Amino acid sequence: MRIVIWVVEGTWQGCVDAASRSLPSGAQVALLHVTPSDVAEVAGAATTGLLGRAFAGRRPARSFRDVADAAASELLADAAARLGRQDAELLRRRGRVEREVIRAVAENVDLLVVARDGDHSRLGPHSLGPATRFVVDHAPCAVLLVWPDQPPGIESIPPPPPPGHHLPPDRD
């Protein structure tokens, strides 16, 4: 069995912990991190956008890309250590996050572990961020959706609708 754990800043610890609790023994594990390419892109291009100031003397010492790559590598190494699986394969990708995740699990993957990234106070269709939503919808394998921290209690369910009321058709 081959399992991919998608780690993201802010939620990775809970995600790794939840995955380690449900890992079948003998499973092959890969840890995946995707750096959104637009962030370094926007930051770098803001410099080029300053008309007339493109001058070699003002380039930052380390490119945004290098900083992001180093941070991603460290995050993956820490995730492997937290998982206690130094044999885990580390997948570092860059691009449009949701598409890179799907690409990484497109073949020979049985399970993708994903952290919910929404806000506990607004449970509902939008409690998943756009990238996570896309991944859940399009992953060609089973998806294990885990809470990165404490799951909400049963009291988070809203009161039932009044009799005769039908749920609106899902427009997502």
Partner 1 sequence: MPGPIAETLAGVLLVATLASAVVRPWGLPEAVVAVPAAGLLLLLGILPLTQAGAEARSLAPTIGFLAAVLVLASLCDRFGLFEAAGSWMASGSRGRPVTLLALVFAIASTVTAVLSLDATVVLLTPVVFATVARLRLRAKPHVYACTHLANSASLLLPVSNLTNLLAFSASGLSFVRFGATMALPWLAAIAVEWLVLRRFFAVDLVGHAEPVAGTRSPVPVFACVVVVLTLLGFFVTSLLHIAPAFAALGGAVTLAVPALVSRRATVRDVGLALEVPFLAFVLALGLIVKAVSVHGLGSLVSHLVPGGTSLGALLLIAVIAAVLANLINNLPAVLLLLPAASVAGPGAVLAVLIGVNTGPNLTYVGSLATLLWRRVLRERGEELPLSEFVRLGALTVPLVLVASTVALWVSLRLMG
Q: In the set 20, 27, 36, 136, which binds partner 1 (CB under 8 A)?
A: 36
By CB under 8 A, residue 83 contacts partner 1: no
**Tokens describing residue 90:** 């580390």
Q: For the sheet with 28-36, list strands across it.
A: 89-95, 28-36, 2-6, 111-115, 142-146
Q: Which residues on neighbouring strands pair with residue 6, listed in sequence order?
A: 32
Q: In this chain, which stretch among 9-17, 26-34, 85-93, 155-163 interacts with partner 1, using CB under 8 A?
A: 9-17
Instruction: Tell me the backbone φ, ψ of residue 82, rounded to 5 degrees.
Output: -65, -35
Measured from the CB atom, the residue of 1 and 67 that comes closer to partner 1 is 67
What would the x/- binding string for partner 1 be over residues 150 to 169, using CB under 8 A? --------------------
Nearest to 58 by CA among 48, 68, 66: 48
143 within 8 A of 136, measured Cβ to Cβ: yes
Q: How far is the CB of 85 from partner 1 (least distance, A)?
A: 20
By CB under 8 A, residue 129 contacts partner 1: yes
Q: In the set 23, 30, 75, 112, which binds partner 1 (CB under 8 A)?
A: 75
| Positive or negative torsion for Cα 60, 64, 65, 66 | positive
In the block, tokens 């997502």 appear at 172
What is the C-alpha separation between 20 and 83, in angstroms, rounded? 6
By CB under 8 A, residue 171 contacts partner 1: no
By CB under 8 A, residue 70 contacts partner 1: yes
Judged by the rule CB under 8 A, the positions of this chain that interact with partner 1 are 8-11, 36-43, 45-58, 60, 62, 64, 67-68, 70-71, 75, 95-96, 117-119, 129-130, 148
